[in-house]
Structure 1
Amino acid sequence: MTQAAALTDAPVQVVPKAPSGGGVWSKVRGVLAMFSNRKSIVGLSILGFFVVVAVFGDLLAPYGPLEKDYGALRQPPSTSHLLGTTHMGEDVFSQIIYGTRGVLIVGLIAGVFATTVAVIVGVTAGYWKGWKSDGLSAITNVFLIIPGIPLMIIITSRYDNPSLILISLILSVTGWAWGARVLRAQTMSLKNRDFVKAAQANGEPLHRIISVEMLPNLLAIIASSFVGTVNAAVLGLTTLAFIGVIPITNLNWGTILFWAQQNGAFPDYWWWYVPAGLCIA
């Protein structure tokens, strides 16, 4: 009893907890989590490689994209021409390097623009009710059924030399609707969650509810929508180039395939079309 009383009467020392900073570190760990995934590392490495090629293409290319070597026509890969030559003696390796820049520019511009439109339309349509939501949903459905390739052919064929920005905007016009549809459905689910209801009850403004409470929970869908749009833009650009809608001055991987097909490269002169096809893949 005496020992128990002594223990009970003894002063209790409270050791203050050091701030853990768990919130900050959890966010950092969430951002860096993708680097622990092998597939993510491989994908980022491939993307980084093409970015370096596009930025430093002038230094990496051994020849100009249209520079001709009439002494080496349709030659297979060699020390002087790493990926062989075309029917005009143009270096295929240099053409692929210079074509990378146009592909990345179109893909990134179209991805950013289409994703921005998809977020604005999808989140707004999912949060609002009534005729506003129905109207935005109807507009999204209209763009979903617009045939992308024919529309791009009609618009680009009206210009003698369409710029990469114009091509990017055309591709983004036909590429935002799917992302908006998915974001609308997810936003309709999020707006009924407790933390959104609490923000509404506290009188938080609409822009803060969307930007602070909802958008962080939509980042995964937004990222996947961006990646899908970039893929579709790259395929759309190369398709337009392959069928000859885009002029040869807009050099890209699809242009290389166009000239290979026009000059009978399939299947004998594999070095003319296989590298460009692998880059697109």
Structure 2
Amino acid sequence: MSVLDPTTTTTAGSPGDSPGPAHVVDEQPRRSGLWRKILRSRRAQVGGIALLVIILWAFVGPYLYHWDSVESDGLAFGAAPSASHWFGTNDIGQDIYAQTLVGLQKSLLIGLIAGPGATLIAGIVGAMAGYFGGAWDRVIVWVIDLLLVVPSFYVLVLLSPVFKSLTWVALIVGLAIFSWMVMARVVRGQTMSLRERDYVKAARFMGVPSFTIIRRHILPNVASLLIIDATLGVGAAILAESSLSYFGFGIQVPDVSLGTLLAAGSSAAVTRPWLFVLPAATLIATVLSTSLLGDALRDAIDPTSGANRD
């Protein structure tokens, strides 16, 4: 990972001056090569296409289907998959395919917000701890260690009454708050190394504000790690939400997510498997596609992480 910044100079100037373009490095060829490597990766192709299809299916599919998620068919109670009901129906005649699409929408929204949200917290907190050091670092590391020791799943379970009284947005906040600690430690370690680089020292010498240095020179140099973490975090957040909802601590009925569908269909998994297997297959495909895409990004950005696995 390159740490050269195209807007950085090592020449001194008067305090308050911004770094000039004395040592401009053209990173366009490197970035073009990186994107070519990602696009050539079989896992990136499969994961990216699958995730795009799943997102389109979730948000466009309901408009192309003739049943609504809350509509009940009085002539098909607990019916098996058919031409009329593609995924079958539940005990009260509601269409499982329509409910799966609505649940997938909710799970995707939670994952796409909570995953990158946790990465954003990790980037900011980790960069501040590594750059400022001293009391900042000690306090932040203490908070990270404390949150890592406390089982986040059980904390979210204890906070579930709050989620029940608020909207599902509260669940997103809870998942993001308890998912940033590991990456924050990684960013902190990288920042402690980056702050000793010449261009960062030169910016400090010229009076550039600390938060400007973090924004311009620290975070861009750990962006590859943050991109990987955000991608993998989407799948992790979807899985965490589904687990909480399955046990009744996340999304609450009559609202629908993949977790609530799995919980409703688990008792009939043997006698009427479509109630459980089809939503479960949707969840597995979603998490697997994000994992494939995240692994491909990690290998493209960091060749030592598992090159030549495609």
TM-score normalised by L of structure 2 = 0.76
The letter of the residue matching 2:109 is I
Q: Residue type matched to 2:90 in 1?
A: T
Query: CA shift at 1:195, angstroms?
Result: 4.0
- Unmatched runs of 5 consecutive residues or more in structure 1: 1-20
The residue that corresponds to 1:274 in the other structure is: 277
Which residue in 2 is equivalent to 1:92?
A: 96
Code of the residue aligned with 1:265 in structure 2: it is A
Cα pair distance change 1:277/1:86, threshold 3 Å:
same
* 1:256 corresponding residue in structure 2: 261
Instruction: Quote the Cα distance in structure 2 between the aligned partners of 1:132 and 1:161.
Output: 35
* Bigger Cα displacement from structure 2, 72-81 vs 38-47: 72-81
Report matched runs for 1:35-184 at 5 Å: 35-158=39-162, 160-184=164-188
Q: Distance in 2 between matches of 1:152 and 1:86?
A: 29
Asked if the contact 1:102–1:252 (Cα under 8 Å) also holds between the matched residues in 2, the reply is yes
Distance in 1, matches of 2:56 and 2:220, equals 30
Indicate if the aligned counterparts of 2:62 and 2:98 stay in contact, CA closer than 8 A: no
Tell whether the 8 Å contact from 1:105 to 1:164 is kept in structure 2 after alignment. Answer: no
* 8 Å Cα contact 1:68-1:91 kept in structure 2: yes
The Cα RMSD (Å) is: 2.2
- Structure 2 CA distance, aligned partners of 1:111 and 1:82? 31
Match for 1:250: what amino acid?
D
Q: Does 1:233 align with 2:237?
A: yes
Work out the CA distance in 1 between the residues paired with 2:35 and 2:217.
Answer: 18
Amino acid at match of 2:258: W
Greater shift in the superposed pair: 118-127 or 41-50: 41-50
- Quick one: percent identity of the two aligned structures? 29
Give the number of aligned pairs: 259
Q: Which moved more, 1:38-47 or 1:251-260?
A: 38-47
- 2:215 partner amino acid: S
Match of 1:207 in 2: 211
Query: Could you tell me which amino acid in structure 1 is paired with residue 182 of structure 2?
Result: W
1:211 is paired with a residue whose SS is helix
Report SS of the residue matched to 1:189: helix
Could you report, residue by residue, the CA deviation over 1:219-272 in whole angstroms, capped at 9, with x for unpaired residues?
Answer: 2211122123322221221112111233212201111111112xx312232211
Q: Distance in 1 between matches of 2:211 and 2:91?
A: 58
Per-residue Cα deviation, 1:146-194 (whole angstroms, up to 9, x for no partner): 2222222222224545312111001111111111111111212222334
Cα deviation, 1:5-51, whole Å, max 9, x if unaligned, reads xxxxxxxxxxxxxxxx9543443443454222111121111221222
Q: Which residue of 1 aligns with 2:193?
A: 189
State the secondary structure of the residue aligned to 1:56: helix
Letter in 1 for 2:191: T
The higher-RCO structure (CA 8 Å, 6+ apart) is 2
Cα distance change of structure 1 residues 82 and 161 upon mapping to structure 2, 3 Å threshold: farther
Determine the C-alpha separation between the residues in 2 that align with 1:159 and 1:125.
31
Alpha-carbon separation, structure 1, partners of 2:157 and 2:65: 31
Contiguous gaps of at least 5 residues in structure 2: 1-24, 285-310
Question: Does structure 2 retain, via aligned residues, the 8 Å contact 1:86–1:272?
Answer: yes
